[in-house]
Each structure stands twice: as C-alpha cells, then as structure tokens.
Structure 1
Amino acid sequence: MVSMDFFTDWEGPWVTTDFALEISEVLGSKAFFERLSQYDDYLYFVERRKGYNAGDTLKLLAPFICVMGLDSKKLKALAENVRFVRDADAAMKILLRKYKPVVISTSYDQFLKTSAGKIGIQDRLHGTRMDVDRLSEYFDDRDREVASSLIEKISKLPEIKVDVENRTVNESATRTIDFLNDLFWGNSDFSKKIRRVMGEVVVIGGRKKLETLLAYEPKERIIAIGDSISDFEMLEWVRKRGLAVSFNGNEYALMNSSLAVISNSAFSEAAVVDAYLANGFDGLKEFLKLFEDKKWDELKDVVDEEIVEGLKCSETEYYLLEGSVGSDDKVDPKIVEKSKRMRKLVRGDAGKLG
C-alpha cells in the first residue's frame, strides 16, 4: 500500500519566519544569530566536529534565551507573529484532504506547535525540545550581564563565509571561530553553564531529522521537502529512494535533492506532493511537462484543480537535478543562484542563513 505521508521541513518551505532570528532580535541583535548560524555551518560542514549535527545552532542559542529571561510564555507569544509563505494556508488545507504531513523541523517546539496550528496541522509535529523555564534556573543576574555583553561582541565579529565546494572559510573568519570556540568549548564558569544547557536541548536537525523520518518506516513514494543544511541527511537519504525536494533551497539542500522548486508560492510544492503521491515519478514527470507547456486544463487531470489555479498566479520554476549524491556532478550554478535569489526574496534576512 502506498503511503499518504509527506515529510517536510517547516521554516522555509511553509513559513518565512526564522524563529531563532526573531528571538535574537528580541535579545538585541539579528547579527548575533547570523554569526551563530555561520558558526554552525562551519562546525558541521568544514570542521566536521564529532557529535555535532547540522541545526545544532539552536543548542548554541538556547543558553542565551534562558539567561536573558525569555520563558516559554514569551516564546509562544512571539510565535504568534509567524509569517507564512504565500498561499501556505490554502495549499496545506488542500493537501490535508488527501495526505498526512509529517513536519520535521529544527525550530523550537514553542514556535512549531503555535504556528502549525494556525494552518490546521495539529499533530505529527517534531521540533526542538527546550524546557526553557527549568533551564533558566541555571543562571543568575551576573550571568545575564555577561550574556548581554557577549551578544554585543559576537554581533560585531567578522562573518564566517563557507566555501561549500572546497569546505573552507574566509581568512577573517578565524577571529570569529576562535572567539566562539573559547566561549562554547572553553573552561570558564559561564562556558560550563552554557554546555550544561546545551546538553539538555534536543535539536531535531541533521541526523535527527532522518531518524525521525525513519521512525515512520516509509516504504513507497517517499517524499521530503527541505531548504537548508539541517535537511542535508534527510534529503540525501530520500533522494536515493524517492523524491527529495529543495524549496528555494541553498547549496546544502540543492546538492542533495532530486528536484529544485523555485517559487514565491506554496502551491508549487503542493503540486509536487500531489502529483508524486498520486502517481509516482510518472505522475511527477507528466506534471512537470504539462506545467512547462502551460497546459492548464490538462494539468487539472494530474493535480488538484485548486492547486493548478494557484500555480497560474505564481512565479514558479522546476528543475530536475541530475547526478547522484557524492558524485562529481554539481548543481548548475544558474539554478543555485536562482534558488538563492528567490530564497532571499521570499524570506528576507532569514534567506541569508544556512
């Protein structure tokens, strides 16, 4: 029996908000989280630190949330300001008539559950678990002063720019990496408290995303949607067995996907889910050909009519990605550039993050 599940990331494919970035703005600086996110890319992709997973940025951020007094109630209130990808509500409601989404997101549970409920998803939600109210008790007023100073200092450090092809970083990044290495892995009392909190935060990113997917024991017509480095392993595994979809993805997502979706509308990914789960790769290929030829009436025989109507009003491009994971084949730089350009257009500042 063909499964009616589809697996998807949340921030990027369905919401434009990067909740961690929003939290950082409340803490005083978006640049603070941008540096942590860049450091995350470095630790996972360049240094390949043992035991470190893509998306563990939320471990790095968690101690600052706790020490600065952002309790669970405040996080949920901040999550009420979620911004969705255009047409996300309508597209998801159409999919929910026939299929069962499994949302596997690096975002904190407080955000995931609050935002997903707004478009009708009540269960099968897997996000990062952080008992912020209990973990806040590890810190005192003096720690808060230290954290406030650190947020300001980190915000002013040089950017870490990762060369994905060569797995290297820019020369000026060394100062930032050294500073953050000392902070997170050093021997100061504050560093020890940081690691204590980090050790109790369960991040759903990297390998954990794949493990969550595998717990559903998918067998036929497996489809997963992602957009960033934290989706790396999940997309890589699915690509070998089903359909791995990059939605306005960056290099990390594209290099492990079988289909690139570049769009300003969630109808574009809903169409792919519907075509593939209903009729497999044959249905997907038929959809892509009809879409390319703009045969709207015939498309309605392949995917839901409402989805087709939504696609007509969108800016959407699809690209089947050749080659296999780990091969010498590389994603066409023009596709990478188009995808990243749309990513920034749709998500704003969040589109710059890995």
Structure 2
Amino acid sequence: MPFIAFDCEGPLTLNDNAFEYCKFLVPEGHKFFKQVSRFDDYLADIQKRPGYKPGDTLKLILPFLKLFGATNQSLREFSKKTLIFLPKTPEVLRDLKKILPTFIISTSYKPYLEALAETIDFPMEQIFCTEVDLDKVKLSKEEAKVLEKLYQEILSFPPIEFPLKASSPSDLPTELLEVLERMEEIFFEIIWNLEIGVFLREVNPIGGEEKARACKLIAEKLNLPLSEGFYTGDSITDMQALSLIKENQGISLAFNPNRYALKTGEFYGLSKNGLIFKDLVKLFIEGGKEELERFVSFGDYEFQKIPNEPEVFENLLKKCEEFRKIVRGALIGDLG
C-alpha cells in the first residue's frame, strides 16, 4: 500500500498564510513579504547559502511580525478566519485517508495547520509543519527602534527581480547584488545578534531538505520504500522532496506549479479542484507508476509527464505560471 504526502498551500488550500498574515498586520506587508521572499529565493537557489533552505522566509519575517504586534492568539484567530480550501479538497482528503496513509508536509506555521486539521478532522500526528511561539520573546523598546529602521530600509529597496536564467550571483546586476548583500547584513549580522534574533537562530521552517526528511520518516514509519511514495508540491520549498521521490521511482507531482517545482517534479498537474488527486491515487494503487506514466489528461484537469525538450518545457512553464495565478491570485501566485 503506497502513501501520499501533500504540501499544504497550493495543492490543498489557496492561502499563503504567512504572506496573508504579514499583509494583514504589517503596513505595506505585501510589499515587505515579497522582498523577503525574493531574498529567500536568492539565498536558496542562486547563492546556495550553506545551511539555508527554501522557506526560511517564515523565520526571517518573524521579528517584524513581532514588531507590529503578532501574538500566538492573533495568528490562530487569523488562520481560522482566512482558511480557504482548493474546491473539493476536504472531501478528497477524507476519502484518501480511508484508503491509504495520507500526510501533510507544510512549511506553514503550526496554528494554520491546526485550523485546517480542526476544520476537516485531519489528525495532527500526520502533519509536519513549522513550530513557532510568537510569545516567546518580549521585544524591547531599543530593539523595536532598530527593527523599525530596518523595516523602512527594506521597503525602500527597489523590487527584487531576477533574470530568468540566473543561477549564480555573477549572473545578477551590480545594483541588485548590493541590495542582496545589505539584506544579508540586516538579517544575519544585525538581527541575528539581537535578542529578537532568537527567531532566526532557533525556528526551523519545514521547507527544502526538511520536507525530504519528512518523506523519509514517513517511509520508515510505514516500513515502505520511497518508490511507494506519492508527493505533491508546487513551489521552491518542495524541490528536495520532489527530487527525493523522483530519484526513488515514486510519484513526484508538480501541482499548479511555479518554475521551481516544475523543473524538479516528474509529472505535472493543472486543476481548479482537488478531484485530480483521487483519480491519480486510484491509478497508482491499481497499476503502480507505470499506470501513471501511460495516463494523459486534458479534460477536467491536465496531467502528464513533464517534457524534457527545452522549448516545450518553457511553453509549459508559461502556461503553468499563468494558471497558478488564476487559481491562487496574482500576488500569491507570483511568490517563489
């Protein structure tokens, strides 16, 4: 019996909880979050900073959330009020967990996953997510002044955008590198050494290698090979999990993906509802990976293997990113 593991935001829900909470709480929070998210993309995918993983945006923004009044209770209440599922997903999850071990591996904060689990009666013990305690540290007046100045400075930077083919810092213009180097100083020298920097030093977002590690833990717990794994993700935080399952001949599905997930998965799916997962799991259980390799759909949803030909891939990438923005909204769909 195989197992399935979902990223949460994208495949299951339409939210980007951290982005939405930042937008709600922080003045110009949407702009601020996007700057930090782009910085995260740079560290993880272009600079390839040792020890840094995709999704660490969620710890980088914590001192600033605290600056603008974030608390555990506020985050819990906000998550409950704003939770939005991809249509049909709650019913599909209820059905799937009856027929095979079903897990969620999410970079999102735990209060958001608790709201999801409570809403659809999903067991928290089958969810991996980012533990955070916003009430852990009291922000001093002195450190609040420092963070306020840094917040204003980050907002003052020009929008961070990367050339499509950028794969190392040498591919970036000098002006952009200067901004990115200053942001490294802000987060890893100034904030890191403040008391509020405990969020950067100790919070461990479940992204990148942590998602791959979760897949390994699931397989070990179930005494199954990773070839029996089915992982679904949509963004940069899913790359290592998608790669791990793909390398072990399981099913790695880039769902409504951005460029990072599409270049890493083996299959792709485009859908405005969750019924696609029920169909694909049924095929996997009945006929294994070979059945999915033969299956192609352009009906109610789109599914097939990701093409290797560069021109065909680039055309598909444009299609996926446009579809992603339609389903999740332009602001969220444009994030890494």
TM-score between both structures, scaled by the size of structure 2: 0.88
Which position in structure 2 is the counterpart of 1:185? 188
- In structure 1, distance between residues paired with 2:164 and 2:270: 20
Q: Which amino acid aligns with 2:306?
A: L
Which position in structure 2 is the counterpart of 1:305? none
- In structure 2, distance between residues paired with 1:110 and 1:203: 13
Taking structure 1 as reference, are residues 16 and 255 closer, same or farther at Cα in structure 2, changes over 3 Å only?
same
The answer to whether the Cα contact below 8 Å between 2:66 and 2:134 also exists between their aligned partners in 1 is: yes
Taking structure 1 as reference, are residues 216 and 79 closer, same or farther at Cα in structure 2, changes over 3 Å only?
same
2:238 aligns with one of 227, 231, 234:
231
The answer to whether the Cα contact below 8 Å between 1:109 and 1:128 also exists between their aligned partners in 2 is: yes
- In structure 2, distance between residues paired with 1:154 and 1:40: 14
Aligned-residue offset at 1:11: 0.8
Aligned-residue offset at 1:108: 0.7
Which position in structure 1 is the counterpart of 2:114? 113
1:226-305 residue pairs with structure 2 within 5 A?
Answer: 226-240=233-247, 241-285=249-293, 288-289=295-296, 291-292=297-298
Aligned-residue offset at 1:105: 0.6
The answer to whether the Cα contact below 8 Å between 1:67 and 1:147 also exists between their aligned partners in 2 is: yes
Matched, 1:210 2:241: no
Aligned-residue offset at 1:175: 4.0
The answer to whether the Cα contact below 8 Å between 2:7 and 2:233 also exists between their aligned partners in 1 is: yes
Taking structure 1 as reference, are residues 151 and 8 closer, same or farther at Cα in structure 2, changes over 3 Å only?
same
- In structure 2, distance between residues paired with 1:253 and 1:189: 31
Which position in structure 2 is the counterpart of 1:332? 313
Q: Which amino acid aligns with 2:179?
A: T
* Aligned Cα root-mean-square deviation (Å): 2.2
1:311-326 residue pairs with structure 2 within 5 A?
Answer: 311=300, 316-323=301-308
- In structure 2, distance between residues paired with 1:193 and 1:35: 23
- In structure 2, distance between residues paired with 1:277 and 1:155: 49
- In structure 2, distance between residues paired with 1:143 and 1:272: 51
Aligned-residue offset at 1:331: 6.5
- In structure 2, distance between residues paired with 1:52 and 1:178: 15
Aligned-residue offset at 1:146: 3.5
Q: Which amino acid aligns with 1:343?
A: R
Structure 1: gaps spanning 5 or more residues: 295-310
Greater Cα offset, 251-260 or 81-90: 81-90
Alpha-carbon displacement from aligned partner over 1:307-349 (angstroms, at most 9, x marks no partner): xxxx4xxxx21131245xxxx9686111111111111111111
Aligned-residue offset at 1:180: 1.0
Which position in structure 2 is the counterpart of 1:130? 132
Taking structure 1 as reference, are residues 194 and 331 closer, same or farther at Cα in structure 2, changes over 3 Å only?
farther
Aligned-residue offset at 1:267: 1.3
Q: Which amino acid aligns with 1:318?
A: F
Taking structure 1 as reference, are residues 182 and 331 closer, same or farther at Cα in structure 2, changes over 3 Å only?
farther
- In structure 1, distance between residues paired with 2:51 and 2:320: 30
Taking structure 1 as reference, are residues 16 and 172 closer, same or farther at Cα in structure 2, changes over 3 Å only?
farther
Aligned-residue offset at 1:13: 0.7
Greater Cα offset, 106-115 or 163-172: 163-172
Taking structure 1 as reference, are residues 141 and 48 closer, same or farther at Cα in structure 2, changes over 3 Å only?
same
The answer to whether the Cα contact below 8 Å between 1:259 and 1:320 also exists between their aligned partners in 2 is: yes
Alpha-carbon displacement from aligned partner over 1:272-295 (angstroms, at most 9, x marks no partner): 223213321233245x34x45x6x
1:88-107 residue pairs with structure 2 within 5 A?
Answer: 88-107=89-108
The answer to whether the Cα contact below 8 Å between 2:7 and 2:106 also exists between their aligned partners in 1 is: yes
Which position in structure 2 is the counterpart of 1:352? 334
Greater Cα offset, 273-282 or 31-40: 273-282
The answer to whether the Cα contact below 8 Å between 1:105 and 1:204 also exists between their aligned partners in 2 is: yes
**3-state SS of 2:202 partner:** coil
Return structure 1 stretches of 4+ with deviation > 6 angstroms: 328-331
Greater Cα offset, 64-73 or 236-245: 64-73
Between Structure 1 and Structure 2, how many residues are aligned?
A: 322
Alpha-carbon displacement from aligned partner over 1:203-252 (angstroms, at most 9, x marks no partner): 11111111111012241421100011111111011112211000111111
- In structure 2, distance between residues paired with 1:210 and 1:190: 27
- In structure 1, distance between residues paired with 2:228 and 2:303: 19
- In structure 1, distance between residues paired with 2:12 and 2:119: 12
Taking structure 1 as reference, are residues 162 and 93 closer, same or farther at Cα in structure 2, changes over 3 Å only?
same
Q: Which amino acid aligns with 1:6?
A: I
Greater Cα offset, 218-227 or 147-156: 147-156
**3-state SS of 1:133 partner:** coil
Greater Cα offset, 98-107 or 62-71: 62-71
- In structure 1, distance between residues paired with 2:316 and 2:305: 10
Give the fraction of aligned pairs with identical amino acids, expressed as a percent.
25
Which position in structure 1 is the counterpart of 2:19? 21
- In structure 1, distance between residues paired with 2:271 and 2:172: 30
Which position in structure 2 is the counterpart of 1:42? 42
